[in-house]
Amino acid sequence: MNLSDYIKKRNGVPLGANNSLRNIIFRSLGAGKFSTFWKYWNPIWSFYLGKFVFKPIKTILPPSLSLILTFGFCGLLHDAVIMLIRWKFTLLFTPWFLIMGLWVIISNFTKLDYSMYRWINRAIINILIIGSCFILAYQIRI
């Protein structure tokens, strides 16, 4: 699958469509599972992470560990940008994304599903999960 097809599948509209950002936000925040949130969030970034990080790691490691490492790599890239801007070593996004990746695995394992709730409730749950992971990562940041 190429990038354009991937974005249309995840976002419901083609790359560069006028309502693309609205669809990303509406679909991701309204997801009934935390793993589904990540299927819709930033489809361009997830396409390349999936193709060049997750799939190669998955050839040598179990899928769950590959997913957590992919989240960690994504966080490390975010931290690298911050370190270049601030010119100071710091890790916040890496532990944050590792925790969110771990939560994806845990919530899938426990079959945590809140899709029966209204959109606003699902959005609040997803925001609370992301925020809680951030608070925990902030406490252990390097």
- The pLDDT confidence band at residue 11, using thresholds 50, 70 and 90, is confident
Looking at residue 16, its pLDDT comes to: 84
**pLDDT, mean over the chain:** 95
Alpha helical stretches, state H, the chain: 3-11, 20-29, 34-40, 43-49, 55-58, 63-86, 93-109, 119-140
Structural domain of 25: 3-140
pLDDT reading at 128 higher than 80: yes
Percent pLDDT > 70 in the chain is 99
The residues, ordered by sequence, that sit 6+ positions from 57 with a Cβ below 8 Å of its Cβ are: 65, 66, 69, 70
Helix axes of 93-109 and 119-140: crossing angle, nearest 10 degrees = 130
- Average pLDDT for residues 117-131, to the nearest whole number? 98
Looking at residue 36, its pLDDT comes to: 96
pTM of the predicted protein model? 0.93
- The pLDDT confidence band at residue 15, using thresholds 50, 70 and 90, is confident
- The pLDDT confidence band at residue 68, using thresholds 50, 70 and 90, is very high
Q: Which of 19-28, 29-38, 102-111 has the lowest mean pLDDT?
A: 19-28
Looking at residue 141, its pLDDT comes to: 73
The residues, ordered by sequence, that sit 6+ positions from 76 with a Cβ below 8 Å of its Cβ are: 91, 93, 94
Q: How many domains does the chain have?
A: 1
